[in-house]
Amino acid sequence: MPVLEPLVPKVLTVRRLPGADPALLRAYGADPERHRALGLVTVDQDDPTYVALDEATKHAAVDVVYARSFYAGSRHASGPLSGEILGVLAGEDPAEVDAGLDALLQTLAHDACFYAADAGGNIAVFPHVIASLGHYLSAQAGLVAGTPMAYLVAPPMEATIALDYALKAADVRLVKAFPPPTETNFAAAWLTGELHACEAAAMAFAEAVVDVARQPRER
Amino acid sequence: MSAPLSRTRDLVAALRRQLGEDDPQPPRAPLPPVPLPPERVFPSPRRRSRMAEAAAAHTTALVGIGHVGTRYATDVVLQFQAELAVAHGAVAAELPDGWAEARGYVPVRSRVAHHREFLLRPDLGRRLDEPSAARWSAECRKDVDVQPILADGLSAVATMGAGPELLDAFTRECERKGWSVGTPVCAKFARVWLQDEIGELARARVAVILLGERPGLGTGDGLSAYLVYGPKRGNTDGNRNMMSNIHARGTPPVDAARRLAVLVHLMLEQGTSGVSLDLAPRAAELGEAARGGYRAPQARSRLVEV
**C-alpha–C-alpha distance, residues B126 and A50, integer Å:** 56
**Residue B207 belongs to domain with CATH number:** 3.40.50.11240
**Full DSSP string of A80-102:** TTTTTEEEEEEESSHHHHHHHHH
Torsion angles phi and psi, residue B107, rounded to 5: -85, 130
Give the rounded distance of the alpha carbon of B168 from its chain centre.
21
Which residue from B15, B21, B28 is facing A110, i.e. has the nearest CB?
Answer: B28
Contact assessment for residue A128 and residue A151, using Cβ atoms and an 8 Å cutoff:
yes
Which pLDDT score is estimated for A102?
95
Q: How far is B36 from chain A (nearest CA, A)?
A: 14
| Banded model confidence at residue B4, pLDDT cuts 50, 70, 90 | low
Residue A8 pLDDT > 70 = yes
- Higher-confidence residue of B4 and B299: namely B299
| Banded model confidence at residue B198, pLDDT cuts 50, 70, 90 | very high
Burial of B260 (0-12, 13-18, 19+ CB in 10 A): buried
Give the torsion sign (CA, A26, A28, A31, A32). Answer: negative
Residue B1 pLDDT > 50 = no
Q: Which residues of A touch B (CB under 8 A)?
A: 2-6, 8, 55, 59, 95, 99, 102-103, 106-107, 109-113, 115, 127-131, 199, 202-203, 206-207, 210
Residue A171 pLDDT > 60 = yes
**C-alpha–C-alpha distance, residues A1 and B252, integer Å:** 81
Q: Is B147 within a domain? A: yes
Nearest CA in chain B to A99: B1
Matching fold, domains A6-112 and A117-214: yes
* Half-sphere CA count of A218, side-chain side, radius 13 A: 4
Inspect the interface and report whether the beta carbons of B25 and A4 lie closer than 8 Å.
yes
Kindly report, residue by residue over A120-167, the tens digit of the pLDDT: 999 999 999 999 999 999 999 999 999 999 999 999 999 999 999 999
> Which among A181, A51, A44, A183 is positioned nearest to A128, based on CA atoms?
A51
Which pLDDT score is estimated for B74?
85
CATH 3.30.70.1710 applies to domain A117-214: yes
Residue A11 pLDDT > 70 = yes
> Which among A145, A156, A190 is positioned nearest to A172, based on CA atoms?
A190
Q: Is B41 within a domain? A: no
Average confidence score pLDDT of chain B: 87
Q: Is B198 within a domain? A: yes
**C-alpha–C-alpha distance, residues B67 and A19, integer Å:** 25
Q: Is B253 within a domain? A: yes
Q: Is B85 within a domain? A: no
Kindly report, residue by residue over B207-238, the tens digit of the pLDDT: 999 999 999 877 889 999 999 999 999 999 99
> Which among A130, A207, A116 is positioned nearest to A168, based on CA atoms?
A207
> Which of A111, A118, A129, A153 to mutate against chain B (most B CBs within 10 Å)?
A111
Range of the domain at B185: 92-289
Q: Is B171 within a domain? A: yes
Instruction: Quote the CATH superfamily of domain A6-112.
Output: BMC (bacterial microcompartment) domain (3.30.70.1710)
**Full DSSP string of B181-217:** BPPPEEEES--TTHHHHHHHHTT-SEEEEEEEPPPBT
Q: Is B206 within a domain? A: yes
For chain A, give every domain's residue range: 6-112, 117-214
SS3 percent helix, strand, coil of chain A, rounded to 5, is 35, 25, 35
Inspect the interface and report whether the beta carbons of B3 and A2 lie closer than 8 Å.
no
Chain A and chain B share a number of CB contacts under 8 A equal to 76
> Which among A104, A92, A22 is positioned nearest to B70, based on CA atoms?
A92
Count how many domains chain B has: 1
* Half-sphere CA count of B66, side-chain side, radius 13 A: 19
| Banded model confidence at residue B3, pLDDT cuts 50, 70, 90 | very low
Inspect the interface and report whether the beta carbons of A55 and B3 lie closer than 8 Å.
yes
| Banded model confidence at residue B2, pLDDT cuts 50, 70, 90 | very low
Contact assessment for residue A176 and residue A133, using Cβ atoms and an 8 Å cutoff:
no
Q: Is B19 within a domain? A: no
Check if B2 contacts A (Cβ < 8 Å). yes
Spell out which residues of chain B touch residue A113, defining contact as CB-CB under 8 Å.
Answer: 9
